[in-house]
């Protein structure tokens, strides 16, 4: 239930945690969030005093739903959405740092970047290192999106779960389109530097458990006030990501899970 230290409100990571808490307080009391949109966010259970990660005494920590706890061996993609991760009010150094990272990853070119992943297969988890992930190209992204829904992670992923996981009315694509519709309209928040988390548990799928695939939003330390403007940065990146997922789905029509079982 408790995610420590990423969600520690105070401590060496003071400001970040405080900003994330501010967002959760605003969001959880915001009556203009539709119910079907609230489901995309981790459930917020308030704060709790816990020992700080640096051992310096009790500090308030965010208590959030652990999205992965219901799953045995979840495959996870963490996709930071948007072609820009900096914000106008930031210091010049901060902007230049983000700007450099954005240009040298797929953030600028694709409008999103994969910033973490683990994919489960017969031999355990495939979890490439940070440096490898940071150097992903558009083709690497396509390959990861195929491996995420395959029974193998070799050079020719079979995409046998693509239709079940990405497609259908409960699939990831449909969830992403729901999010998109909300982002076309909402002008309350700008989700700077937030991630879309895709989760797929082959075990849950094979046992017929639902949901076996989920879409969540995470990382709200840099959420800004929308000031009556839509979050065109998030929306553009989300549309680009949706197109990538659609393409994998379209390419894998024909190969289905049923072929493999």
* Range 10-69, binding a second copy (CB under 8 A): none
Cα(15)–Cα(19) distance, integer angstroms: 6
Nearest distance, CB of residue 73 and a second copy, angstroms? 32
Peptide bond into 2 cis (omega under 30): no
Answer for which of 58, 132, 138, 206 binds a second copy (CB under 8 A) is 138
Q: Which stretch binds a second copy (CB under 8 A): 3-11, 50-58, 208-216, 225-233?
A: 225-233
Burial of 229: CB neighbours in 10 Å, binned 0-12, 13-18, 19+ = exposed
Contact between 232 and a second copy (CB under 8 A)?
Answer: yes
Q: Which stretch binds a second copy (CB under 8 A): 41-49, 157-165, 166-174, 234-242?
A: 234-242
Cα(196)–Cα(116) distance, integer angstroms: 11
Nearest distance, CB of residue 246 and a second copy, angstroms? 9
Answer for which of 135, 168, 187, 253 binds a second copy (CB under 8 A) is 187
Toward a second copy, which CB reaches closer, 166 or 241? 241
Toward a second copy, which CB reaches closer, 135 or 247? 247
**Core vs surface per residue 115-136: b (16+ CB within 10 A) or e:** bebbbbbeeeeeebeeeebeeb
Residue 89 CB neighbours (<10 A) = 8
Count of residues near a second copy by CB under 8 A: 26
Toward a second copy, which CB reaches closer, 67 or 238? 238
**64-67 CB contacts, 8 Å cutoff, 24+ apart:** 64/1, 64/2, 64/3, 64/7, 64/24, 65/1, 66/1, 66/2, 66/3, 67/42, 67/197, 67/199, 67/214, 67/216, 67/218
Nearest distance, CB of residue 83 and a second copy, angstroms? 6
First-to-last alpha carbon distance for the chain, in angstroms, is: 35
Toward a second copy, which CB reaches closer, 30 or 247? 247
Per-position x/- string for 108-127, each x denoting binding to a second copy as judged by CB under 8 A, each - no binding: xxxx----------------
Q: Which spans of this chain sit near a second copy (rule: CB under 8 A)?
A: 83-84, 88, 99, 103, 108-111, 138, 184-185, 187, 227-230, 232-233, 235-237, 239-240, 243, 247
């Amino acid at each position: 239930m408790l995610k420590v230290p990423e969600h520690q409100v105070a401590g060496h990571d003071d400001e970040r945690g405080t900003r994330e808490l501010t967002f959760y307080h605003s969001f959880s009391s915001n009556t203009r969030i539709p119910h079907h949109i609230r489901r995309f966010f981790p459930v917020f259970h308030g704060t709790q005093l816990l020992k700080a990660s640096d051992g310096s005494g009790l500090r308030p920590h965010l208590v959030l739903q652990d999205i992965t706890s219901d799953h045995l061996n979840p495959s996870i993609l963490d996709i930071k959405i948007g072609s820009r991760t900096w914000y106008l009010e930031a210091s010049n150094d901060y902007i230049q740092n983000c700007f450099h990272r954005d240009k040298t990853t797929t953030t600028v070119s694709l409008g999103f970047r994969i910033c973490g992943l683990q994919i489960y297969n017969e031999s355990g988890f495939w979890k490439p290192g940070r440096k490898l992930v940071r150097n992903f190209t558009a083709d690497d992204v396509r390959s990861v999106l195929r491996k995420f829904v395959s029974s193998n992670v070799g050079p020719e992923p079979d995409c046998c779960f693509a239709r079940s996981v990405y497609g259908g009315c409960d699939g990831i694509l449909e969830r992403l389109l729901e999010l998109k519709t909300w982002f076309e309209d909402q002008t309350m928040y700008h989700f700077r530097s937030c991630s879309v988390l895709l989760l797929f548990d082959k075990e849950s799928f094979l046992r017929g458990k639902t949901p076996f695939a989920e879409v969540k939003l995470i990382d709200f330390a840099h959420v800004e006030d929308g000031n009556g403007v839509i979050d065109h940065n998030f929306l553009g990146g989300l549309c680009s990501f949706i197109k990538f997922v659609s393409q994998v789905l379209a390419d894998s029509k024909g190969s289905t899970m049923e072929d493999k079982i």
